[in-house]
Amino acid sequence: MASIKQFQVTFDCAEPERVARFWCEALGYVVPPPPAGFASWDEFDRSLPAERRGSAFACVDPSGVGPRLFFQRVPEGKVVKNRVHLDVRAGAGLVGEERLAVLEAECARLVALGAVRVRLLPADGVEESCIVMQDVEGNEFCLD
């Protein structure tokens, strides 16, 4: 039986490069090198048929540990809550006020990049605090 060792997370979106660049900044990811034979992603994009230009973009964890993120243009807009979302683990291992301070600082950084703060889910005695947010195209994620 084969065992999957790698996966990527795919986002449907209207502007793949814009959303990818947000996530690069948010997570410390980088844009991978362009395909062989191309000096830049712009050069590669110009080689595509007009209808496919700007239709996809990706970013990767420079350490090679995290999954590749792939962004693909789709014609329909986002209309409902995501069924799957990313948890951005800024406060892992922290509790109480220390955790909340780290989450608030990271939230401010992400808002400056174009994210939207939706709401704080305060600690309830079982779960620690987290902040529900949206990326630059409204995809939900949790700052955890």
Query: What pLDDT, in 10s, does the model give residues 84-138?
Result: 899 999 999 999 999 999 999 999 999 999 999 999 999 888 889 999 999 999 9
Record the tokens describing residue 126, joined without a space: 């079982």
Q: How far apart are CA 115 and CA 93, in angstroms?
A: 24
DSSP-derived letter for residue 31 is P
Whole-angstrom Cα distance, residue 77 to residue 137? 9
Contact by Cβ (8 Å): 72, 13 = yes
Predicted pLDDT of residue 79:
83
- By C-alpha distance, which of 16, 23, 54 is closest to 135? 23
**What share of the chain has pLDDT > 90, as a percent?**
84
Sequence-ordered list of residues with C-beta below 8 angstroms from that of 24, at least 6 positions apart, any chain: 30, 31, 59
Greater confidence, 84 or 68? 68
**Distance, CA of 126 to chain centre:** 27
Query: pTM here?
Result: 0.89
